[in-house]
Chains A and B, each alone.
Chain A
């Protein structure tokens, strides 16, 4: 079996909640004990609702933030504990595309300068070669060459996202972290960008970490998927398995909550969660316990470990009882 390109081992991130003046302070765990392996050339999708820790996870992978505990390995090398100067040489190998393309580009620079400057700094080539590469990148992401003289505000959202992808690719990375790259775009533009990303992956053998809350987009893009809830991975496995036969009640609820245009599915039996996100008490308690329609007493003691079942890993104490018994009309 091939070595993973990117591996997260028991990564957690704890924030101190400001404004609390007590001796120990209040803390908030944005990401808890997440372990993932991303294989070369694959897309690893991460889904979950807003605030589930997806973006914090992305920021830790990009070393914009340090994990409170756990390790991040890239190409068999631990990167989370390096100093920024030691990491600088590795930086070009993993790049990121952000959700909000509007603030992703310096408003005062022409697109060609935005693309050129990092390449010059990292000595991708001499000035002439870099200029040639700017043109090649514009072409690669499907932007007309003459647009390189323009400023970011003269582009549409989709075009700006193309520029961001070109910039991310300029340093020849092999891992690209895509943090909701299409969430801010029109649906028609979303499809164009997703197809562009897939083409590029095929051509260049890129490895993606694709973060999203749009289930369709994540399913379309990903080989493997992890579903996150309150900072934890509650279920992970091959994309099709998870979408066709979800096992964890949260995955089911997530899929069932997606609106559908298919009339015959409107009145299907759905898994619905009750209430709002709230913290479950108890060290080993399932995070979904207060909201889950299937919760039992043993969820309090065995809610965290990922158990293998049917080719996927699921953190549900009742997985073996529930598996297959729940009707799920999801069509993804």
Chain B
């Protein structure tokens, strides 16, 4: 019976052809990233002695200014960018869910304080906040995860709060109260499982945003620090006009990877939203 529910979700998901194609591309990209150590022909940090080589049989995406193999670097960069995006999403979702639950269930002063704080974080110009935070803290992969995690949680918190507010008025929560059930049971066994689906959908969009955010920060030199490759600091190499116009192998693959990842994640997220909504059956 449970499995029939999941089958229905999968059937609704499959109705989105585009999402299905995107899911396949996304899976392929994630596999490429995960298996980078096996696939990459060269070590990503090791100069090969041939500078600015255009794509060839030896280096299928060419080499950069100090002779590192671009294909290997792109693979490792995707690894880093996906990891940053995934962990940042996990952090922001966890923070958002926790604050949203507290805010929605307890209401009163806790709700006012949390919601004011949420509005405050949301009202800051996003990229500025990230830049300032990146400037204050030591730039690097872990600080960028925490920074992105910190700026992305308000949306989740609001979503969860709204859900909790409506769930709190349902009769099954009222029955829990009249049965004298403890708060931890009501919050984590009754309310939380009923907010998972919308949170999951929202998290995909946060994931899709974190990847270009990381790229933007790394591009500006505030994110993942070289020599560790990330999609953003690979694009950094395209800052000079001569590279932009004359050596497209330096930046096209990284740019294409960002576009593909973001588009695919968004399509999959959209389809998930429709799939989780039983009214679409």
Which A residues fall within an 8 A CB radius of B? Answer: 62-64, 87-92, 94-96, 98, 100, 103-108, 117-118, 121-122, 149-151, 154, 164, 167-168, 171
Q: Tell me which residues across on chain A come within 8 A of B189, comparing CB atoms.
A: 117
Q: Tell me which residues across on chain A come within 8 A of B2, comparing CB atoms.
A: 151
Tell me if B180 counts as interface (CB < 8 A to partner A). yes
Binds A, one of B47-55, B62-70, B167-175, B253-261: B167-175
Known: A96-B175, A98-B171. 12 other contacts (CB 8 A): A64-B174, A64-B177, A92-B179, A95-B179, A98-B174, A103-B171, A103-B172, A104-B170, A105-B172, A106-B172, A118-B179, A121-B180
The 9 closest A-B pairs by CB, nearest first: A91-B180, A104-B171, A98-B171, A118-B179, A88-B180, A103-B170, A106-B172, A103-B171, A108-B193
* A149 vs chain B, min Cβ distance (A): 8
Q: Which one, B1, B174, B175, B185, contacts A121 given CB within 8 A?
A: B185
Question: With A and B bound together, what is the CA distance between A96 and B174 in angstroms?
Answer: 9
Residue of A nearest to B173 (CB): A106
In the complex, 16 of the A-B residue pairs with CB atoms within 8 angstroms, ordered by the A residue number, are A89-B180, A92-B179, A94-B178, A96-B174, A96-B175, A98-B175, A104-B170, A105-B172, A118-B180, A118-B181, A121-B180, A121-B185, A149-B1, A164-B175, A168-B175, A171-B179
Question: With A and B bound together, what is the CA distance between A204 and B180 in angstroms?
Answer: 22
Q: Does B180 lie within 8 Å of A92, measured CB to CB?
A: yes
Q: Does B1 lie within 8 Å of A151, measured CB to CB?
A: yes
Question: With A and B bound together, what is the CA distance between A195 and B175 in angstroms?
Answer: 23
Residue of A nearest to B196 (CB): A108
Asked whether A100 and B171 contact (CB < 8 A) given A117-B185, A117-B189, A121-B185, the answer is yes
Tell me if B182 counts as interface (CB < 8 A to partner A). yes
Question: With A and B bound together, what is the CA distance between A275 and B177 in angstroms?
Answer: 40
Tell me if B194 counts as interface (CB < 8 A to partner A). yes
Residue of A nearest to B2 (CB): A151
Question: With A and B bound together, what is the CA distance between A55 and B19 in angstroms?
Answer: 47
Question: With A and B bound together, what is the CA distance between A63 and B179 in angstroms?
Answer: 11
Q: Does B181 lie within 8 Å of A106, measured CB to CB?
A: no
For chain B residues 245-268, which have a beta carbon within 8 Å of chain A?
none
Residue of B nearest to A170 (CB): B179
Which B residues fall within an 8 A CB radius of A? Answer: 1-2, 170-172, 174-182, 185, 189-190, 193-194
Q: Tell me which residues across on chain B come within 8 A of A151, comparing CB atoms.
A: 1-2
Q: Tell me which residues across on chain B come within 8 A of A117, comparing CB atoms.
A: 181, 185, 189
Question: With A and B bound together, what is the CA distance between A167 and B181 in angstroms?
Answer: 13
Q: Does A121 lie within 8 Å of B171, measured CB to CB?
A: no
Q: Tell me which residues across on chain B come within 8 A of A90, comparing CB atoms.
A: 180
Q: Does A121 lie within 8 Å of B190, measured CB to CB?
A: no
Q: Does A91 lie within 8 Å of B179, measured CB to CB?
A: yes
Q: Which one, B170, B175, B180, B194, contacts A167 given CB within 8 A?
A: B175
Q: Does B178 lie within 8 Å of A106, measured CB to CB?
A: no
Q: Tell me which residues across on chain B come within 8 A of A89, comparing CB atoms.
A: 180
Q: Which one, B1, B179, B194, contacts A106 given CB within 8 A?
A: B194
Question: With A and B bound together, what is the CA distance between A69 and B185 in angstroms?
Answer: 31
Question: With A and B bound together, what is the CA distance between A7 and B71 in angstroms?
Answer: 80
* B17 vs chain A, min Cβ distance (A): 29
Q: Tell me which residues across on chain A come within 8 A of B178, comparing CB atoms.
A: 62-64, 91, 94-96
Q: Tell me which residues across on chain A come within 8 A of B190, comparing CB atoms.
A: 106
Residue of A nearest to B177 (CB): A64
Q: Does A107 lie within 8 Å of B175, measured CB to CB?
A: no
* B189 vs chain A, min Cβ distance (A): 7
**Most chain A C-beta atoms within 10 Å of own C-beta, residue among B172, B176, B182:** B172
Question: With A and B bound together, what is the CA distance between A121 and B182 in angstroms?
Answer: 9
Question: With A and B bound together, what is the CA distance between A87 and B182 in angstroms?
Answer: 12
Q: Tell me which residues across on chain A come within 8 A of B185, comparing CB atoms.
A: 117, 121
Q: Tell me which residues across on chain B come within 8 A of A88, comparing CB atoms.
A: 180, 182
Question: With A and B bound together, what is the CA distance between A122 and B172 in angstroms?
Answer: 18
* B71 vs chain A, min Cβ distance (A): 46
Q: Tell me which residues across on chain B come within 8 A of A164, comparing CB atoms.
A: 175
Question: With A and B bound together, what is the CA distance between A1 and B2 in angstroms?
Answer: 54
**Most chain A C-beta atoms within 10 Å of own C-beta, residue among B171, B177, B185:** B171
Residue of B nearest to A104 (CB): B171
Q: Tell me which residues across on chain A come within 8 A of B180, comparing CB atoms.
A: 87-92, 118, 121-122
Question: With A and B bound together, what is the CA distance between A108 and B172 in angstroms?
Answer: 11
Q: Tell me which residues across on chain B come within 8 A of A107, comparing CB atoms.
A: 194
Residue of A nearest to B194 (CB): A108
Q: Tell me which residues across on chain B come within 8 A of A62, comparing CB atoms.
A: 174, 178
Question: With A and B bound together, what is the CA distance between A62 and B176 in angstroms?
Answer: 12
Q: Does A150 lie within 8 Å of B174, measured CB to CB?
A: no
**Most chain A C-beta atoms within 10 Å of own C-beta, residue among B170, B180, B193:** B180
Question: With A and B bound together, what is the CA distance between A171 and B170 in angstroms?
Answer: 21
Q: Tell me which residues across on chain A come within 8 A of B194, comparing CB atoms.
A: 106-108
Question: With A and B bound together, what is the CA distance between A89 and B178 in angstroms?
Answer: 11
* B277 vs chain A, min Cβ distance (A): 14
Question: With A and B bound together, what is the CA distance between A98 and B174 in angstroms?
Answer: 9
